[in-house]
Amino acid sequence: MADSIIAHRAYRSRTSRCAHVIERLGLSMAGASCGLFVAAHVSSARVELLGSVTMSLTLMVLGAIGFYLGIDVPPHRTGRLPQARLTGEDMQPMDPVELLSAAGTFLAATAAFISVYSIVTDSDPTAAITVALACGWLLGVTMQIVAGTTARVRRTG
């Protein structure tokens, strides 16, 4: 099954490849938007380092890169047989890169969600919560970037 998916990706039409690039750019813009929401929330913490324009741009750029690379990572070609059977279906070996990507996406999305909630409800969170959200965002998008880069390097190697 994985080999057929990989073969299909190798022989996609130009239209399909163009659609994939447009999709990835859309994900990148969503990541940048989430980064902007986190930056807007963090800048209200009145911590000079967190409120700088450089920090806001960094959160946006990392979000764009993370969502571009870390969502929909390419499957891993192991060439191994399934390790177990469960209710008649074959279980594929666990891919830690997929788990890293999923966890990073969840963490980044949670930080963005809480930031948007805080902005919309005009709540006044503590500085510790704000720093935790910024760190959660940075950790999440870093996990996405590492997972996406690892999956693509592994695929070409």
Q: What is the pLDDT confidence band of residue 92, given thresholds at 50, 70 and 90?
A: low
Q: Which of 130, 147, 140, 151 is nearest to 31 (CA)?
A: 140
CA-derived radius of gyration, the chain: 19
CA 153, chain centre distance (Å): 17
Confidence of residue 108 (pLDDT cuts 50, 70, 90): very high
- Taking only the tens place, the pLDDT of each residue in 54-68 is 888 999 999 999 999
The DSSP bridge partners found for residue 91 are 84
**Greatest CA span in the chain, whole angstroms?**
58
Indicate whether 2 pLDDT > 70: no
Per-residue pLDDT band for 90 (boundaries 50, 70, 90) equals low
36-39-40-44 Cα dihedral, nearest 10 degrees = 180
Q: What is the pTM of this model?
A: 0.77
The alpha-helical segments, DSSP class H, found in the chain are 2-10, 14-43, 53-70, 96-121, 127-156
| Predicted pLDDT at 21 | 87
